[in-house]
Structure 1
Amino acid sequence: MSSDATVRVEGRVLKLTNLDKVLYPEFGFTKGEVIDYYTRIAPVLLPHLKDRPVTLKRYPNGVDGKWFFEKNASEHRPDWVRTMRLESPGSTKGNETVNYVMVDELATLVWLANLAALELHVPQWTVGPRGGKRDPDLLVFDLDPGAPATVVECCRVAERIREVLDDDGVDSWAKTSGNKGMQMYAYAPAKDTSEYAKAVAQRLAQELPELVVATMAKAQRTGKVFIDWSQNNPAKTTVAPYSLRARERPAVSTPLTWDEVEDCEVVGDLVFTADEVLERVDSAGDLFGS
């Protein structure tokens, strides 16, 4: 039996291929299930991708196979896939451009899932309808634990960052990374987001030297949580909320309540698979930014 199918998605016609191909071998999770997840999560995912150029992390042979980042939209894309040509954020010459995919409709999301684009990464800034790059609207702290520290220690650091932001009148929210750590977000304060994040990270590294490090050197991270403030650099991207991650299981970068952050005592408290995230959204809606 063929594992290909031609489907109509909101008026768009797509050919889906190799739907039975297992992309998460340990979990037996197929490409068809990846497409199903992204289709069902789209109502809460798409608003967080809107107007943000997407960088893809593709796994055509599954999470155990070779993978690659893809910024430029495929030349073989359907003609209805919207793209935006922008100056490459990391360009030193000032004349390098990238033709990014803009994921603003379900059909585009399904098309990407069919390409085995398991992970979707976005910047903290958006673009206008004519390609003008806007100032960052989000502030992010990427909390990366150095073994034997885990997401549990990340939660303790996140609580402290929240207190600092609260004192500055800045509301914040959190999600798992879907990997080892987690991320904290806030609407960008009226100041340089990168410098502000750096100042917060350095302050906490001084206040909690046994738990927090604010420098890139991996040798200093053992048993501590690295607050990666550099994710606010316009050239950087962070995994999108509700994106799958290429781990042994189909884990998801999952929005959290602050009660869940405060109550976390073991790693398993904050590991959520695709099916579990769909159940969470059915029950509580979109927790990201709330």
Structure 2
Amino acid sequence: MPVVEVEGRRLQLTNLDKIIYPDGTTKGEVLHYYAVTAAVLLPHLVDRPLSLLRFPDGPEGERFFTKNVPPGTPDWVTVRDVPRSKGRTIRHVLAQDVPSVVWVANLVVEFHVPQWTVDAPGVADRLVFDLDPGAPATVVECCEVARWLRDRLAADGLTAYPKTSGSKGLHLLCPLSPVDSARASRYARGLAVEAAAELPGLAISEMARHRRPGRVFIDHSQNAAAKTTAAPYTLRARPEPTVSTPLTWDEVERCADPGDLVLTLREVPDRLTDHGDLMADLHDPTHARPLP
């Protein structure tokens, strides 16, 4: 069992030759990806209780979502009791340093986080829209809806940052001055309804599945305090080793084919060299703006 040292912490890594993705991507390659991107991923995770979608046998094997601290968590990994509904608490892992990111990645996970930090549960500092296309609509149609939302948010003084979901669609995130999650949810729902009215036949704001074919569902529900969203730079449990990858608006504007925005763990390191973190403003409080 290989033992590596990451910033002074000794980590045991397991099953590095195990095939995780059908294209032959191994667990060792997954861990290498997280190791080389950990410093960029980390600021999007710090102080946010982690929810983890684990897929240790690959996306076609068993998948399970966990919020509780996994068995065997080292004592140097930060854990916190986080209040939840009905007076309950859940003990979550927090990724506060690079060794913690690599340790969690060894479990083969997607990283999911709420729109608030552990010291202010239910107080949103991000707004999120999840654009989910219903076939035959694709990410191309999501880009059209994203552009409308970008301009509408800008009219309210908010700046939207796009990323691939790592699945079929797009995510838009805006840095916010801290606000109650319930208010952020109401605002996001209002914009989703407005977009559906302005883009008839293209966008819908209701979850009714029978209305989704050929349209983009604007999922605003992830602004609720209890919900989480796939973090920037997380791998996804998909047939390919796709990554929820920050984009430029030029890429959104130019997208003409769904394949244009399929980005995997092989492309992301070079993108970081070229662009840096396109979502760095999300964790810079000077870019946060209040809801109107």
Which interval holds the TM-score relative to the shorter structure?
over 0.9
Q: Which runs of structure 1 show a deviation greater than 4 angstroms over 4 or more consecutive aligned residues?
A: none
The SS at the match of 2:123 is coil
Following the alignment from structure 2 to structure 1, what is the Cα–Cα distance between the partners of residues 41 and 127? 19
Q: CA deviation at 1:134?
A: 5.8
**Matched residue type, 2:205:** A
Following the alignment from structure 1 to structure 2, what is the Cα–Cα distance between the partners of residues 127 and 182? 26
Q: CA deviation at 1:256?
A: 0.4
Q: CA deviation at 1:133?
A: 2.3
Residue 5 of structure 2, aligned match among 5, 8, 32 = 8
1:229: which partner in 2?
A: 220
1:23: which partner in 2?
A: 20
Q: CA deviation at 1:248?
A: 1.3
* Structure 1: 5+ residue stretches without partners: none
Query: When the two structures are superposed, what TM-score results if normalisation uses the length of structure 2?
Result: 0.92
Residue 220 of structure 1, aligned match among 211, 220, 228 = 211
Residue 232 of structure 2, aligned match among 231, 236, 241 = 241
Instruction: Tell me, yes or no, if structure 1 residue 116 matches structure 2 residue 108.
Output: yes
Following the alignment from structure 1 to structure 2, what is the Cα–Cα distance between the partners of residues 204 and 74? 40
Following the alignment from structure 2 to structure 1, what is the Cα–Cα distance between the partners of residues 60 and 222? 27
**Matched residue type, 2:252:** V
Q: Structure 1, residues 216-266: CA drift from partner, whole Å, max 9, x if none?
A: 111111100000111100111000000001111110000000000011000
Following the alignment from structure 2 to structure 1, what is the Cα–Cα distance between the partners of residues 213 and 105? 36
The SS at the match of 1:120 is strand
Q: CA deviation at 1:189?
A: 5.8
Instruction: Tell me, yes or no, if structure 1 residue 32 matches structure 2 residue 24.
Output: no
Following the alignment from structure 2 to structure 1, what is the Cα–Cα distance between the partners of residues 280 and 122? 19
Following the alignment from structure 1 to structure 2, what is the Cα–Cα distance between the partners of residues 31 and 190? 38
Residue 243 of structure 2, aligned match among 252, 269, 275 = 252
Q: CA deviation at 1:62?
A: 1.5
Q: CA deviation at 1:288?
A: 1.2
Tell whether the 8 Å contact from 2:38 to 2:102 is kept in structure 1 after alignment. no
2:51: which partner in 1?
A: 55
Tell whether the 8 Å contact from 1:53 to 1:123 is kept in structure 2 after alignment. yes
Residue 64 of structure 1, aligned match among 60, 66, 81 = 60
Q: How does 1:276-287 map to 2 (within 5 A)?
A: 276-287=267-278
Q: CA deviation at 1:138?
A: 0.2
Instruction: Tell me, yes or no, if structure 1 residue 205 matches structure 2 residue 196.
Output: yes
Aligned Cα root-mean-square deviation (Å): 1.3
Q: How does 1:136-151 map to 2 (within 5 A)?
A: 136-151=124-139
Following the alignment from structure 1 to structure 2, what is the Cα–Cα distance between the partners of residues 31 and 113? 10
**Matched residue type, 1:28:** G
Q: CA deviation at 1:96?
A: 1.8
Tell whether the 8 Å contact from 1:16 to 1:114 is kept in structure 2 after alignment. yes
Query: When the two structures are superposed, what TM-score results if normalisation uses the length of structure 1?
Result: 0.93
Tell whether the 8 Å contact from 1:170 to 1:189 is kept in structure 2 after alignment. no
Instruction: Tell me, yes or no, if structure 1 residue 165 matches structure 2 residue 161.
Output: no
In structure 2, the CA distance between the partners of 1:134 and 1:229, relative to structure 1 (3 Å rule), is: closer
Q: CA deviation at 1:135?
A: 1.2
Report % sequence identity. 52
Tell whether the 8 Å contact from 2:248 to 2:278 is kept in structure 1 after alignment. yes
Following the alignment from structure 1 to structure 2, what is the Cα–Cα distance between the partners of residues 134 and 196? 15
Following the alignment from structure 2 to structure 1, what is the Cα–Cα distance between the partners of residues 163 and 221? 18
Q: CA deviation at 1:115?
A: 1.2
The SS at the match of 1:142 is strand
Q: CA deviation at 1:40?
A: 0.3
**Matched residue type, 1:31:** K
Tell whether the 8 Å contact from 2:95 to 2:101 is kept in structure 1 after alignment. yes
Q: Structure 1, residues 155-180: CA drift from partner, whole Å, max 9, x if none?
A: 00000001111111111110000000
Aligned residues: 278
The SS at the match of 1:226 is strand
**Matched residue type, 2:158:** V
Following the alignment from structure 1 to structure 2, what is the Cα–Cα distance between the partners of residues 41 and 163? 31
Tell whether the 8 Å contact from 1:173 to 1:289 is kept in structure 2 after alignment. no
Q: CA deviation at 1:211?
A: 0.4
Q: CA deviation at 1:289?
A: 4.7
